[in-house]
Amino acid sequence: MAGCAAQPQQAAGLSRDTRSENYCVQFAGTGTGQYDQALLLDCRREEYTAAARVRGMQLPKDVDAGCAATASMGDPVRFFSWSRFALCAERLAPPPDEP
């Protein structure tokens, strides 16, 4: 039971991927309940690409937390941008070990 309590949890249980989808819908929205389909697809493509760039990175917890805060744009419950996270992580992450 204690091990479960120590595990970090996502805000409101939404994954970063789900919050990234919410970000793109918000980004592509017109404010009328409709959204620009081309803009939405471009955003999702950019988000998928950015997520793939950072998935294998071994980030220190403080870098991950700081970049996640930047990527949530002030709303850690609903939104997350993999593009913003990737830019932050690539800038702050320590270089990979040489083989």
pLDDT in tens, 1-14: 444 444 444 445 79
- The whole-number average pLDDT for the span 33-58 is 91
What is the reported pTM? 0.77
The rounded mean pLDDT for the chain is: 84
- The whole-number average pLDDT for the span 80-98 is 86
Q: Is the pLDDT of residue 61 over 60?
A: yes
Q: Is the pLDDT of residue 64 over 90?
A: yes
Task: Report the amino acid identity of residue 59.
Answer: L
Q: Is the pLDDT of residue 56 over 70?
A: yes
Q: Is the pLDDT of residue 80 over 90?
A: yes
d(CA 79, CA 85): 12
DSSP, res 58:
-
**Which two three-digit tokens encode residue 71?**
């990527």
The secondary structure of the chain in percent helix, strand, coil, rounded to multiples of 5, reads 60, 0, 35
> What are the residue ranges of helices labelled H in 29-81?
37-54, 61-71
d(CA 24, CA 47): 8
